[in-house]
């Protein structure tokens, strides 16, 4: 199980701050993002943003970073307020 969290404006746009995702691991952040889009196609305009930033276990990563079972994957816009 992967814990997915959303921050800042993205959290407001998706109307959720976190969810659990059942996905075969290891996988990549891009795989997590695609699974979210498959399960929630209405999120396309928000999650398909190439400027979207991501972190795995609170470490900033690129979309090709590996994700394992039990990891936390966070998505947030490039500019977050203080």
pLDDT attached to residue 28: 97
In angstroms, the Cα distances linking 39 to 2, 27, 57, 81 are 14, 17, 23, 28
Give the pLDDT score at 49: 82
82 within a domain of the structure (yes/no): no
Contact between 27 and 56 (Cβ < 8 Å): no
pLDDT of residue 80: 52
The predicted pLDDT at position 45 comes to: 92
At residue 2, what are phi and psi to the nearest 5 degrees? -110, 130
pTM: 0.91
Q: Which residue's structure tokens are 């996988």? A: 27
pLDDT per residue as tens digits for the range 18-42: 999 999 989 999 999 999 999 999 9
pLDDT in tens, 48-81: 888 899 999 999 999 999 999 999 999 999 875 5
**In-domain check, residue 45:** yes
Domain count, the chain: 1
> 30 Cβ partners below 8 Å, 6+ apart?
63, 64
| 55 domain-assigned | yes
């Amino acid at each position: 199980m992967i814990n997915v969290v959303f921050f800042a404006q993205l959290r407001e746009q998706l109307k959720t701050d976190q969810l659990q995702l059942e996905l075969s691991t290891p996988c990549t952040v891009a795989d997590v993002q695609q699974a979210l889009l498959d399960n929630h196609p209405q999120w396309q305009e928000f999650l398909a943003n190439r400027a979207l930033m991501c972190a795995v276990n609170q470490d900033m990563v690129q979309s090709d970073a590996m994700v394992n079972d039990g990891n936390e994957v966070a998505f947030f816009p490039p500019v977050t307020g203080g």
